[in-house]
Structure 1
């Protein structure tokens, strides 16, 4: 990040970030070019606060994009790059058959406005993949507006036509553009739309996990340029661990959810809640446990360490995750290990008819961060190992020091996965990218199941935690085999992921400030932090596109900035 650097603005061309939000696109542009965005526009004061804290050299306009006058903003200076991320909630498939608002579906016309008035050399638009279905809306019997199912893509095609070679005067998209942009259909600006603005336009769906972000977020990107240079689509840098490109070392394996999780945060038991979990949530947890804990074939190992040697210091996860097939690190008197098979499950709101509970693995990217309220939770299973019928007591939580290490292993093994509190996800393992992050709340949770050693006869009725005495162990319910030995679920904990974990999953640098102080002295509230994350562009994705298409706009510090971003 260049937040704390002073850069003399000597670039000829400007960079403008429309719909700037909390700064995902601006962050990516900085990582790619080593220079700040010149102008950032957003109507939300909380978003502008977060953006201005991280991009203090940018000129911030806290107003509607419709109130911004491009000619006054630029004052004759050419625009080399303009980024557009209009509100996508009325295009997203998560919207289902709910009513829509025409004024929100029409926000993309702002791109046409900037093209008409200041003609940016390169424009990049980001939206959900359903943006290509943009079409006129019609009133139903309830007078609510909904997309016309018989005209899918009609407005989108007209949008592209006006940017490129032109459109017929009676095309509904032209009429809608004139309505939104307040153009006289007989005037000179409208005539330019009819003739086409002469941009070369291409669009593709890309996934952030393929470009170094630990989230599976998939978005449609449209690149437009009018300078005669070719549109460049960056080659993916990452891929599935089992893909041919990764095995040939041509690409790196996807970054994973496991590296985003703050393992020091404990998971409260789901059986000690004041209000029981919803049935749909319990079904998702059960499905995730079955797939990523009970039936997990290859859990991985993480190191547990003590905090600074102080009495009562919380245990924290060590820096490296280790494959279960690899040798252990040196075992010392104050170290312990944990087996982890993490997964995400998605819960909340209940499933639609025929919809299975979702539990994507943590060995995949986190699902797309969207504004529609997708909920996730992290699920972890703790395995408490016992020998010879002698039980060690209640065991140690992650936030407590380990018991005394003896020649007999009495320490816990940990198997974990994430739960997503909405949609069709079946959970996710820890070595997968993080599922989509929602802007509507902290909807990704961690689930940890505590396990005790299972014996074929005698002793199996004794659990390491009291709440689970009712589990019918004779039915061998919830057995997990680790290194040839059987363990049994004794308790399950769940917590929602924190904002700093979500921002890490979205690909923001660790140095990004997500809780700036407001005018009243309080920090930006958690719900606002999550909303901004869910609405944000994944910075690595933006960086890849910008670096590929406008490398000539990079400042002298671009290389150093890229190194900073990669290290973060």
Structure 2
């Protein structure tokens, strides 16, 4: 029998709530209301409550034996389990795709370091999703009607993945897996995110609902096809047959977007994105590099790797001219000197978002592109031309 949910019937419980970013997105959906959120960190609670003062926030360890008893029932459940233990961004060798099935409970962990044991327990936070959904069925006598789980794409390689999905299906959930880049999410009530952030989303709808959402309607972005000259809802194309998870990228990613028109024969198309410039306070120019304190480790005021990135960015985007148009013209993208450039004005200006910490592969990029994935670390800076005028930079905001 089909359960008909009206917009004012959807209440939400959020686990691993962080500072409230997911909650803000959930609250932007008409008819939803977050009634309970949980996280273990006090700073997260302070930030979350500031953003969502009407939500009942529970501070504690969700892995504690009796923690789940504190959670109320809700129609919808959202969880963002800790992702650093899955991510390879830290440079650690990945082993979570090979770890022992019983690694959490066995006594034979002597060969692992304390750090490795901690990360195994962190990955086990995924188990709390099943725990909550099962708890609602057993204690409240009715299933949570839908849920979403967000994590990094590498979590798809978790050794316990297949068993974890089976547990969810045993509870009656129809599971689908989605690769999502935040910059391509075209919300109906929110602006796009000016950040290129690839994530995995697992969605579940209980079989008692009687139907599943048209996910393509909501997840596949609209883009302009240059071949037939029209806007279309793009179709995801995996580069490797059988893949179901990965990151977006024409050059280095695992999937791309293509035009669905048969006559276009798989024409690559790129969804419009909001530039990093949208989130930058251009009135705050920060501390000039030359004014920073010089130390033995930072002889030029910043770490040598950071200075090298800045110099590379200057050479790429300033010494070799890089033009970003502003205003409401058809010319809506940045161009290098190796491309024909339309009429220039005296108001054109550029800025760079430069990674400050030392991970390999992080390079300078113009603020006319979405910001790269951000973490809680202070790892980005803005490099301005020496004669930068703050009032000029907001011209980036009109790109989209």
TM-score, normalization by structure 2? 0.66
Q: Which blocks of at least 5 consecutive residues in structure 2 are unaligned?
A: 1-6, 94-114, 137-142, 186-191, 234-270, 295-299, 335-340
User: Are the counterparts in 2 of residues 238 and 254 from structure 1 also a CA contact under 8 Å?
Assistant: no
1:38 is paired with a residue whose SS is strand
Alignment partners' CA distance in 2, 1:246 and 1:432: 23
Match of 2:291 in 1: 272
1:369 aligns with 2:374: yes
1:111 aligns with 2:129: yes
Deviations 1:414-470 (A, max 9, x none): 899xxxxxxxxxxxx99999xxxxxxxxxxxxxxxxxxxxxxxxxxxxxxxxxxxxx
User: Are the counterparts in 1 of residues 184 and 273 from structure 2 also a CA contact under 8 Å?
Assistant: yes
Among candidates 191, 210, 215, match of residue 184 of structure 2: 210
- Map 1:280-291 onto structure 2 (within 5 A): 280-291=305-316
Among candidates 147, 150, 171, match of residue 126 of structure 1: 150
Alignment partners' CA distance in 1, 2:359 and 2:87: 19
Alignment partners' CA distance in 1, 2:357 and 2:322: 28
Deviations 1:133-173 (A, max 9, x none): 112xxxxxxxxxxxxxxxxxxx1111112212xxxxxxxxx
Alignment partners' CA distance in 1, 2:48 and 2:229: 39
Among candidates 17, 26, 41, match of residue 20 of structure 1: 17
Q: Which blocks of at least 5 consecutive residues in structure 1 are unaligned?
A: 1-9, 136-154, 165-195, 303-320, 329-336, 384-396, 402-412, 417-428, 434-568
1:15 is paired with a residue whose SS is strand
| Counterparts in 2 of 1:121 and 1:246: CA distance versus 1, 3 Å | farther
1:53 aligns with 2:50: yes
Alignment partners' CA distance in 2, 1:284 and 1:268: 17
| Counterparts in 2 of 1:90 and 1:267: CA distance versus 1, 3 Å | same
2:75 is paired with a residue whose SS is strand
Instruction: Give the superposed CA RMSD.
Output: 3.5
- Map 1:160-239 onto structure 2 (within 5 A): 160-164=165-169, 196-211=170-185, 212-226=192-206, 227-233=209-215, 234-237=218-221
Deviations 1:217-276 (A, max 9, x none): 11100001113321432144465xx76499634477211112222111124332232222
User: Are the counterparts in 2 of residues 26 and 36 from structure 1 also a CA contact under 8 Å?
Assistant: no
User: Are the counterparts in 2 of residues 207 and 219 from structure 1 also a CA contact under 8 Å?
Assistant: yes
Higher relative contact order (CA 8 A, sep 6+): 1
Match of 1:80 in 2: 75
Task: Name which one, 1 or 2, has greater alpha-carbon Rg.
Answer: 1
- Map 1:198-347 onto structure 2 (within 5 A): 198-211=172-185, 212-226=192-206, 227-233=209-215, 234-237=218-221, 244=226, 248-250=230-232, 253-275=272-294, 276=300, 277-300=302-325, 325=342, 338-347=347-356
1:157 is paired with a residue whose SS is helix
Deviations 1:10-68 (A, max 9, x none): 95553101111111111111101244301111111221122112212211111122346
Moved over 3 A (4+): 10-14, 67-73, 235-239, 242-247, 249-252, 299-302, 321-328, 413-416, 429-433
| Counterparts in 2 of 1:246 and 1:270: CA distance versus 1, 3 Å | farther
Alignment partners' CA distance in 1, 2:78 and 2:365: 31
Which has the higher mean CA deviation after the structures are superposed, 276-285 or 242-251?
A: 242-251
User: Are the counterparts in 2 of residues 345 and 360 from structure 1 also a CA contact under 8 Å?
Assistant: yes
